[in-house]
Every structure is written in structure tokens, then in C-alpha cells.
Amino acid sequence: MFHKEGHKIVLFSFLLVVAANLSANYLTEQDWIIYTVFTVSIIFFLTIAQFFRNPKRGIGKSDDYVVSPVDGKVVVIEEVDENEFFKDKRLQVSIFMSPINVHVTRYPIGGKVAYSKYHKGKYLVAWHPKASEENERTTVVVSSKNFGDILYRQIAGALAKRIVNYAAEGQNVDQGADSGFIKFGSRVDVYLPIGTKVDVVLNQKVRGGETIIAKC
């Protein structure tokens, strides 16, 4: 299943592949050219298609844990000053997504959206220390039953040129449901209350809507 953000792109890519192969067959009788165009075009299409895949995920909703909002690798677990919403210290868990990861963003916890804001910014590489504050990004805070306010931030990277955010203030949301999409490689930061029991380690691979990153 493809994510709705990719429907037009996947369709356009398919039509482009068909056109390229028909043109190759019409313009030349050289088998090696025809086979090369076919191979390259199929690889191109599969690359686009896998990027926009949207697999069904879920381990059962619970107010007792926070799930990873995205697929990727845990690259940061540390206490930091969160200056946009909380304006105090929080425990930050950052997940880096490569271009081959699923790029659907999911709500890490169920509750009510207390804050949702888009920020224009730079396109530093996603792992740059200042990316969280200077890159194009969206910040969403969900008020949950057991954890209180949980903030997650979609951050654009050097390749990510569009962030899609569905969260609207006042909206009631379900844990694991689609909350947005980041196109082409980036990172998501999750900010938890100090003292939260983190259930992941550095360099661990996680799956959005499925891997538990923190427990009460």
C-alpha cells in the first residue's frame, strides 16, 4: 500500500517508465540499449515505490508507553533544553531516517493535540547538532493521560524538501495513526519528561508505530 502523499508521484513514475521503454523499443533495435533502459527504469520505479510504502503497523494502543513515530535508527538519547514549548529540560530521543526507510510519521501517543506549528528553516544534514533548531521543521505536542505532554518534531534534512503535518490543535488522535510524512531522508526528535524510562538504546533500529521507546 502506498501513502497518499505518494499517489501522484508513483503514478507519474510508472507512466514515465512505460514511456521510456516504449520509446526505446521504437527508436532503436539495439537489444543492449532496450535492456539497459528497461533495467534502469525498473530500478528507478522500485526506488520511488518503496519510499512511499505505508505498511500497516500497531502493537495495540496503550497510555503506558510511547512508540517510535518513525522507522529509522536511534542516534541521540540525552537531556536537553527544549526552548520552543516546554522551555525547560526534557529527555530527547532522536531517530534518523535514511532514504530507504518508511517515511510515514505516526503519533507516538494517543491524546489531544495541544500544539502544532510549522517553521521555515535551513536544510542542514539531519544529524547536524543545530538541525533541530535551525532546519525546516514542524513541532507537535500531544497531551496524554499518563505521560503528560509529549513533543515530537519532524526535521527536514539535506534531501528532505517537504514536510507534511496532519496534526491540528484541539484534535483527538490515536497512537500509531498517520500524523504526517517527510519526503526523502530526515529525522524526528521526541521529547519526554525527565525521569522517563527509555526502552531503546543508541544505534537501535526502530519501527514507527511498533517499537516502544519509553514506558511509564
The catalytic site residues sit at: 186
Alpha helices (runs of H) in the chain, residue ranges in sequence order? 7-27, 31-51, 131-134
From the list 151, 141, 135, the residue with the least C-alpha distance to 185 is 135
Give the C-alpha separation, 165 to 154, whole Å: 8
**Which are the contacts of 92, defined by CB distance < 8 A and separation ≥ 6?**
76, 77, 78, 79, 80, 82, 189, 190, 191, 192
3-state class of 138 per DSSP? Answer: strand
Q: Give the cell for residue 84.
A: 520552543
* Size of the chain, expressed as the number of residues it contains: 216
Q: Give the cell for residue 69.
A: 513515530
Strands (E), 7-84: 65-67, 72-82
Q: Give the cell for residue 57.
A: 503497523
